[in-house]
Amino acid sequence: MKKFKFTLDKLLDYKGQILDREKNDLAALNVERAEALELKAGLEAELRRNQDEFNRKAAEGISPMDMLVFTNYHNVLRTRIEDTQKEIEALEEKIAKQLNVVTEASKEVKSLEKLEEKQLEDYRFKVQKSEESFIEEYVNGAAVRASLASING
């Protein structure tokens, strides 16, 4: 009997490639989110340092100009933190959507793999039946040859 060949092998390969691509997209989004979280943490640390320095200088006496510089820098940091938080939230939304895409692609691949397993099981069953049939024919042929030999001999 011929070697087993899954009838939807090309489709399974194609769906597997799509799944890999979608997983890579998800990984890239996760990296982007991690970088944004790291940036936000750095900005928050910078804001705390700026606030501490402002409090220290205010205790020593600070000029109105220096106070304005600190306040403006403080506001810039807060704005950047807010923008980064919005970016993180947008990325988390994209990640949730991409996770759904990956899940669906994974389901498609798994269903094709199950179909392949079923076809392989059917193939093995047919091979076994074919071998049983061959053995049966061989045994029957040997019995016929033996009875012919006893009649002729």
Confidence of residue 1 (pLDDT cuts 50, 70, 90): low
At residue 111, φ and ψ (nearest 5 deg) are -65, -40
Average pLDDT of the residues in 128-141 = 84
> Contact 81/43 with Cβ under 8 angstroms?
yes
Q: Where are the domains of the chain?
A: 9-109
Predicted confidence (pLDDT) at residue 139 exceeds the cutoff of 90: no
Confidence of residue 138 (pLDDT cuts 50, 70, 90): confident
Averaged pLDDT score across all residues of the chain: 92
Predicted confidence (pLDDT) at residue 44 exceeds the cutoff of 70: yes
Confidence of residue 78 (pLDDT cuts 50, 70, 90): very high
Average pLDDT of the residues in 100-121 = 96
> Contact 111/11 with Cβ under 8 angstroms?
no
In sequence order, the 6+-apart residues with CB closer than 8 A to the CB of 44 are 81
pTM above threshold 0.85: no
Which range scores top for mean pLDDT: 9-13, 23-27, 132-136? Answer: 23-27
How much of the chain is helix, strand and coil, in % rounded to 5?
90, 0, 10
CATH topology of domain 9-109: Helix Hairpins (1.10.287)
